């Protein structure tokens, strides 16, 4: 075996020498490949400095401003994978995928596409001059300024342009929401939440990579991948401080409990789950212990019912879109909430949770609600819809 291995090597060398005049036989990296390797090495050192809280080492790789902005974030992982380098005279831009995990919260890395601008020192070393979201990618919170972190019993609140007092108030709301959700849904979820609190509505939109007009009047949204496989990172609850500021104490708690419910139910929310169920269930838990009546919590739908304009069917997914008709959007949420409230009242709270899980167990929408209605509630979609319409009239009519 050893002899054969030596003979193969000899043949390979002979072949290389034979082809040398044509190909150069050797394999040095192209300038672009060399630049990619060198930039990757710089970003690896930069990442190690972030995790090691070494500002001096970080500064040796380029601008220090982003280090100060993200220093308060409790990171368990931080790293870049360079995918392309574009040379421009003595400088370059690099396309890279950032991966990071927040300590104690993220099961798997959060990823974000980034564009880095680099220049070279007199002795040819690359250094970073800018690091920003790529293309239409959303911002990270530290792109908007220096992050302040507040830990609660069940929460981590990260804010920019917010006082410590304000962030602690958000943490108290989240810490109230987590056990409320666990009491209704169960404990088969991480039972903690990460809240991002930007300075303004524009900051919220920047994190979501969308126009601010999409979220005007929306107090909070939850980001995350539906049908959690266990490998997806923790959800983020992103707050709109401008809309939140006009809510009363009960409204603020309802919003945080609603969004926390989305975090808890994420693994059982799939493409089969209609929005009337996912949003209605989140509102059902949100309002569960507030003492709010149907007419108090569903004013828009109440006006429609009293005007003889009750909906014919359950809200469709398109009804939950952010449009110029806030009354229609409100009616969709209220209709979903009352559907879940009816299930809890007629079939029981445990059956409501079982119904939610049964719908999410299907991977496709077709037939999922119908099958779960039959299996868990012993009814059909037409019968359920008619019961719901009667419930609206009984709860919201004069």
Q: Binning pLDDT at 50, 70 and 90, where does residue 86 land?
A: very high
Q: Look at 223-237, 287-301, 358-372, 373-387 and tell me which has the smallest mean pLDDT.
A: 223-237
Q: Binning pLDDT at 50, 70 and 90, where does residue 226 land?
A: low
Q: What digits encode the pLDDT tens for the residues 58-72?
A: 999 999 989 999 999
Q: Is the pLDDT assigned to residue 207 strictly greater than 50?
A: yes
Mean pLDDT within 355-360: 98
pLDDT value, residue 322: 73
Q: What digits encode the pLDDT tens for the residues 151-167?
A: 999 999 999 999 999 99
Mean pLDDT within 142-147: 97
Q: Is the pLDDT assigned to residue 18 strictly greater than 50?
A: no
Three-class HEC string of the chain: CHHHHHHHHHHHHHHHHHHHHHHCCCCCCCHHHHHHHHHHHHHHHHHHHHHCCCHHHHHCCECCHHHHHHCCCCEEEEEEEEEEEEEECCEEEEEEEEEEEECCCCCCCEEEEEEEEEEECCCCCEEEEEEEECCCCCCCHHHHCCEEEEECCCEEEEEECCCHHHHHHHHHHHHHHHHHHHHHHCCCCCCCEEEEECCCHHHHHHHHCCCHHHHCCCCEEEECCCCCCCCCCCCEEEECHHHHHCCCHHHHHHHHHHHHHHHHHHHHCCCCCCHHHHHHHHHHHHHCCCCCCHHHHCHHHHHHHHCCCCCCCCCCHHHHCCCCCHHHHHHHHHHHHHHHHHHHHHCCHHHHHHHHHHHHCCCCCCCHHHHHHHHHHCCCHHHHHHHHHHHHHHHHCC
Mean pLDDT within 339-348: 98
pLDDT value, residue 217: 86
The reported pTM is: 0.88
Q: Is the pLDDT assigned to residue 4 strictly greater than 60?
A: no
pLDDT value, residue 304: 94
pLDDT value, residue 234: 65
pLDDT value, residue 324: 65
Mean pLDDT within 337-357: 98
Q: Is the pLDDT assigned to residue 100 strictly greater than 50?
A: yes
Residue % of the chain over a pLDDT of 70: 89
Mean pLDDT within 141-151: 97
What Å distances lie between residue 21 and 14, 17, 18, 29, 59, CA to CA? Answer: 13, 8, 7, 18, 46
pLDDT value, residue 382: 98
Q: What is the mean pLDDT of the chain?
A: 89
Domains parsed from the chain with CATH numbers: 31-137 (3.10.450.50), 139-264 (3.40.30), 270-398 (no CATH)
Q: Look at 148-152, 222-226, 346-350 and tell me which has the smallest mean pLDDT.
A: 222-226
Sign of the CA dihedral running 15, 19, 23, 29: positive
pLDDT value, residue 17: 30
Q: Binning pLDDT at 50, 70 and 90, where does residue 228 land?
A: very low
pLDDT value, residue 327: 87
Mean pLDDT within 254-283: 96
């Amino acid at each position: 075996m050893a002899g054969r291995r030596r003979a193969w090597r000899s043949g390979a060398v002979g072949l290389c020498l034979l082809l040398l005049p044509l190909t150069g036989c050797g394999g040095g990296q192209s300038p672009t490949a060399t630049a990619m390797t060198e930039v990757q090495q710089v970003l690896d050192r930069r990442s190690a400095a972030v995790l090691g809280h070494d500002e001096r080492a970080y500064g040796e790789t380029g601008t220090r401003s982003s280090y100060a902005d993200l220093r308060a974030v409790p990171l368990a992982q931080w790293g870049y994978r360079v995918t392309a380098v574009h040379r421009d005279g003595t400088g370059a831009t690099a396309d890279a995928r950032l991966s990071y995990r927040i300590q104690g919260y993220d099961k798997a890395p959060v990823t974000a596409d980034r564009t880095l601008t680099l220049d070279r020192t007199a002795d040819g070393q690359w250094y970073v001059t800018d690091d920003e979201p790529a293309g239409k990618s959303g911002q990270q919170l530290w792109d908007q300024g220096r992050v302040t972190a507040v830990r609660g019993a069940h929460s981590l609140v990260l804010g920019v342009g917010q006082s410590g007092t304000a962030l602690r108030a958000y943490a108290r709301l989240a810490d109230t929401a987590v056990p409320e959700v666990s009491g209704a849904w169960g404990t088969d979820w991480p039972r903690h939440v990460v809240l991002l609190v930007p300075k303004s509505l524009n900051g919220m939109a920047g994190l979501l990579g969308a126009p601010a007009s999409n979220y005007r009047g929306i107090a909070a949204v939850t980001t995350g991948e539906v049908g959690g496989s266990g490998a997806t990172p923790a959800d983020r609850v992103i707050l709109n401080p401008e809309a939140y500021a006009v809510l009363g104490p009960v409204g603020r708690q309802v919003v945080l409990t609603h969004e926390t419910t989305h975090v808890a139910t994420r693994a059982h929310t799939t493409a089969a789950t209609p929005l009337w169920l996912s949003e209605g269930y989140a509102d059902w838990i949100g309002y569960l212990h507030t003492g709010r009546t149907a007419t108090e919590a569903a004013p828009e739908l109440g006006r429609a019912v009293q005007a003889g304009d009750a909906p014919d069917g359950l809200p469709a997914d398109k009804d939950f879109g952010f449009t110029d008709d806030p009354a229609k959007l409100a009616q969709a949420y209220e209709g979903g909430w009352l559907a879940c409230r009816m299930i809890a009242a007629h079939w029981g709270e445990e059956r409501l949770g079982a119904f939610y899980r049964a719908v999410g167990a299907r991977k496709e929408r077709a037939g999922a609600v119908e099958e779960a209605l039959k299996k868990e509630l012993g009814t059909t979609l037409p019968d359920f819809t008619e019961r719901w319409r009667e419930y609206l009239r009984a709860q919201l009519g004069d």
